[in-house]
């Protein structure tokens, strides 16, 4: 992020820039290559404004890889961010925190493994944190992207959802979709 610019101001500026260039960044190209941004080390997709922002940056910079990681995450994997590469600021919110459980004497309760036992406690007010991530195209030693493997078949799951909906689906030679009154 540029110095002095708020995260949302930067996002808004990028969004306006792409719209003025004739791009609708939220539209998915149907070429099978597109995937929403996700963390390369946790395999978790980015959500909300982070997903939109990383998609905008990827489009503006010409990245075709949907994978992102912090400098530390990359280093832990043996990947090296190339010198001079610029990261992208994202934000994340923490709604809970781990607290160590104490016994009646105030000592930390230890588990069978000898480690302190903790529990997740909801925070009274969520806290925002910022991180800088890099696209894997900005790194040396990062693995080539692979086709994402699902634990389930997306097409089969879509068919199950349609069948469960009770919708009456009629296939004909027309080139459009139509929902008629009473078709529920």
pLDDT tens track for 138-150: 999 999 987 666 6
pTM: 0.62
Compute the distance between CA of residue 56 and CA of residue 21 in angstroms, rounded to an integer: 12
Mean residue pLDDT of the chain comes to 84
Residue 65 in contact with residue 135, Cβ under 8 Å?
A: yes
pLDDT tens track for 57-95: 888 888 989 999 999 999 999 999 999 999 999 998 899
Q: Could you tell me where the beta strands, DSSP code E, fall in the chain?
A: 38-39, 67-70, 80-81, 88-100, 118-135, 139-140
For CA atoms 55, 61, 67, 69, give the dihedral sign. Answer: negative
Domain boundaries, the chain: 7-165
Residue 12 in contact with residue 114, Cβ under 8 Å?
A: no
CB under 8 Å to 125, separation ≥6 — which residues? none
Compute the distance between CA of residue 138 and CA of residue 85 in angstroms, rounded to an integer: 7
């Amino acid at each position: 992020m540029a110095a002095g610019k708020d995260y949302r101001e930067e996002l808004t500026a990028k969004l306006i820039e792409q719209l003025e260039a004739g791009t609708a960044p939220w539209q998915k190209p149907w070429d099978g290559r597109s995937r929403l941004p996700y963390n390369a080390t946790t395999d978790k997709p980015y959500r909300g404004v982070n997903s939109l922002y990383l998609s905008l940056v990827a489009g503006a910079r010409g990245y075709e890889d949907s994978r992102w990681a912090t400098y530390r995450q990359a280093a832990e994997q043996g990947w090296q961010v190339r010198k001079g590469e610029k990261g992208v600021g994202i934000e994340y919110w923490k709604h809970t925190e781990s607290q160590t459980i104490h016994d009646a004497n105030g000592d930390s309760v230890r588990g069978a493994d000898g480690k302190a036992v903790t529990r997740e406690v909801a925070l009274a007010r969520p806290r925002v944190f910022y991180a800088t991530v890099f696209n894997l195209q900005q790194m040396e030693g990062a693995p080539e992207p692979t086709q994402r493997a699902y634990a389930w078949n997306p097409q089969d799951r879509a068919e199950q959802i349609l069948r469960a909906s009770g919708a009456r689906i009629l296939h004909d030679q027309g080139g459009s979709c139509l929902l008629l009154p009473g078709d529920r």
